[in-house]
Structure 1
Amino acid sequence: MNGRVARKSSQLGTYTVKSRFSQKMPQYLFIAPAALFVLLFMLYPIAYNIVVSFQDLTLMNLRSGGEFIGLQNYKEMIQTEKFGIALKNTVIYTAACIFFQVIIGYLLAVFLNQDFPFRNFFRSIMLLAWMTPLVITGTLFKWLFDVDHGVINYFLVSLHLIDAPINWLGQQDTALAAVIMTNIWIGIPFNMILILAAMQALPSDVYEAAKVDGASRFQTFWRITLPLLKPALLIILVLGIIYTFKVFDIILIMTGGGPVNATQVLPFYGYELAFVNFDFGASGAVATVILVILICIALIYLYLIKREEAE
């Protein structure tokens, strides 16, 4: 008797599990394409790159597979002067771009948040810089910064701000600054539209109460606008840092990492190791370092979000 009851209970449990699985099968089928895409085109390349970074993999042994050499690629990378230059340029490039993009983007968002004629038209025009392909933008600014026929030198000389044309992209002192200005122009609309969307979601009654209490514009900004925009600004900063830190297109088009490594950045350094020197192991090490840095930035963002929610 007890055996029959046990068998029936087992059959009932098996039926319940099958029933639940059959009910959830459509859900699994819906997410299967996305999961397969993430697995094949995101997780697998990342895992393979990490494995390659521990191998002596070059063009000569690419087919047979590289020999496992442990942390040798990382040791050689750290000892290379070019890596230090690339890391320093990447940090300077990212910090300068993010600072000016957020500040100018915020000012434009404040302006476009006002009620005036053709406001939507100007919002649309601002997005053109961000929507333009980077190849076109890089080529355009390369011409604008040209030493002989560039428009920027023409206006600076015409306004008597400089005595002679500046070789913006051909000398170490100005090449990185020219690339930074180019990327600032590209990223301003992205920051502006996100900050503008966050501003329009702010409660108006809080500002009315502050106006009644006699709060100044600075007090309103510091005590109300900035705290309410903090979550959106954190997202903008994280996305901007990730997007800017992995710069490659603009560097390739405008300077090619030169002159004399003045615009050498980590992603371009990894590209040169892989497709110029054909040292895929060393390139994988550089890519892994970039991945670790960006993961740390994302973890800092998650920590700040959790702390803000706790408060």
Structure 2
Amino acid sequence: MLEFTNTFRDGRGFDAVLVMMALGYLVVFSAFPLAYNLLMSFQDVDLFTLTSFDRPFVGLDNYREVLSRPEMWPLLRNTVTFVGISVAAQLVPGFGIAVFFQLDFPFNTWLRGLFLAGWIMPALVVGAVWSWVLAGDFRVLNHLLSSMGLIREEIFWLSDPDVALYSIIIANIWLGVPFNMILLSVGLAGIPEDVYEAAEMDGATRVQRFFTITLPMMRAQLGAVISLGVIFTLQQFDLFAALTQGGPANSSNVFQYWSWQLSFQNYEIGLGSVISVLMIGFVVAVAFVYVRSTRYEHGS
């Protein structure tokens, strides 16, 4: 007992305590909810049986039910469209802005901090702001486009089935670009300056240095940003709740919001769990591809 006490008094056991605390946190707040959600996807769960562990086991019936729903495939297309366009449109300007802030000019740090102000805002607040910007009857965006002569009549961004989803994509891009910028800035700062100087002495132009030095040396960071972008975009819920609630007629609905609707509006909790399991499986696949690519890149 004395030896055990001395171990912690000397600080040698403190690292083990930290590891156990982290493992406990993961088990309680990550592993258990994931396992419980997976279990519910194989059970008949509704509002009356939610608090009971004695629920009918239905096997793959919930998965068959979800796959047979008429809204399944249109919402899958919406989800892929939302994730694909958002991630690509956040990455490209985020990378460009990160490269821009690598230049030395007055108020660089202040401008970078100002640029991050939008990212730290809660998504519901961002949604409220964009609901005003995207409102019809010549509000902010319509007024801007009209004054530039690009439109002649108002566009109902949030109630037109043809553009509602893209309206949320616009808001999500605005929200995610600063996150991409700050992550890529860290990677750019890690590239040795003497590499650029040597290339410049060899006569390489700025564009050539970007494609022969910056892009190859940023490959790992770009992979990480894309993977995180996919994961965070699949988690985006607040913008849908604030802007369109999946409407009109499911034209802007996606899996993450559909899962909430099934679970907490229709009380088909087992079916909502199925959607969550499918999304988790996709996220795991993205993470696996990224980890494999980085291992291959490092020759292991």
Do the aligned partners of 1:83 and 1:269 also contact (CA within 8 Å) in 2?
A: no
Find the counterpart in structure 2 of residue 162 from structure 1.
151
Does the 8 A contact of 1:143 with 1:149 survive in 2?
A: no
Q: Percent identity?
A: 34
Q: Which residue of 1 aligns with 2:267?
A: 278
Question: Is 1:48 aligned to 2:1, yes or no?
Answer: no
Of the candidates 87, 104, 111, which is equivalent to residue 122 of structure 1?
111
Read off the aligned partner of 2:169 and give its amino acid letter.
I
Of 248, 253, 256, which aligns to 1:259? Answer: 248
Distance (Å, rounded) in 2 between the aligned partners of 1:269 and 1:47:
20
- Asked if the contact 2:168/2:240 (under 8 Å) is kept, the reply is yes
Distance in 1 separating the partners of 2:272 and 2:230: 21
Which residue in 2 is equivalent to 1:14? none
* The structure with more radius of gyration: 1
Q: Which residue of 2 aligns with 1:308?
A: 297
**1:134 equivalent in structure 2:** 123
Task: Please give the alpha-carbon distance, in whole angstroms, between the structure 2 residues aligned to 1:62 and 1:188.
Answer: 39
Q: Are residues 1:79 and 2:68 paired?
A: yes
Matches for 1:1-311 after TM superposition, within 5 Å: 25-64=13-52, 65-148=54-137, 150-310=139-299
Q: Which amino acid aligns with 2:20?
A: A
Give the Å deviation of 1:82. 1.3
- Could you tell me how far apart the structure 1 residues matched to 2:159 and 2:127 are? 15
The Cα shift of 1:204 comes to 1.1
The separation in 2 between residues aligned to 1:25 and 1:197, in whole angstroms, is 34
Q: Contact conserved, 2:138 with 2:154, CA < 8 A, in 1?
A: no
Cα distance between partner residues in 2 of 1:260 and 1:121:
44
Q: Which runs of 5+ in 1 are unaligned?
A: 1-17
Q: Do the aligned partners of 1:58 and 1:66 also contact (CA within 8 Å) in 2?
A: no
Secondary structure in structure 1 of the residue aligned to 2:208: helix
Task: Give the letter for the 1:240 counterpart.
Answer: G
Q: CA deviation at 1:310?
A: 0.6
Deviations 1:151-172 (A, max 9, x none): 0111111222101110000011
Q: Which amino acid aligns with 2:284?
A: I
Q: How far apart, in 2, do the equivalents of 1:211 and 1:290 lie?
A: 46
Equivalent AA in structure 2 for residue 278 of structure 1: Y
Asked whether the 8 Å contact 1:55–1:69 carries over to 2, the reply is: yes
* CA–CA separation in structure 1 for the residues paired with 2:250 and 2:266: 16
CA RMSD across the alignment: 1.8
TM-score (norm 1): 0.90
In 2: Cα distance, 1:110 partner to 1:39 partner: 40
Q: Secondary structure, in 3 states, of the residue corresponding to 1:247?
A: coil
> Could you state the TM-score of these two structures normalised by the residue count of structure 2?
0.93
For residues 183 and 174 of structure 1, the distance between their equivalents in structure 2, rounded to whole angstroms, comes to 14
Superposed displacement of residue 63, structure 1: 4.1
Compared CA separation, residues 255 and 268, structure 1 to 2 (3 A): same
* Alpha-carbon distance between aligned partners in 2 of 1:39 and 1:248, rounded to the nearest angstrom: 24
Q: Which amino acid aligns with 1:186?
A: L
Residue 25 of structure 1, CA deviation: 4.8
Given the superposition, is the C-alpha separation of residues 25 and 199 from structure 1 closer, same or farther in structure 2, using an over 3 Å criterion?
Answer: closer
1:262-311, Cα deviation, whole Å (9 max, x unpaired): 11111101000100110111111110000000000000001100010018
Q: Distance in 2 between matches of 1:35 and 1:305?
A: 25
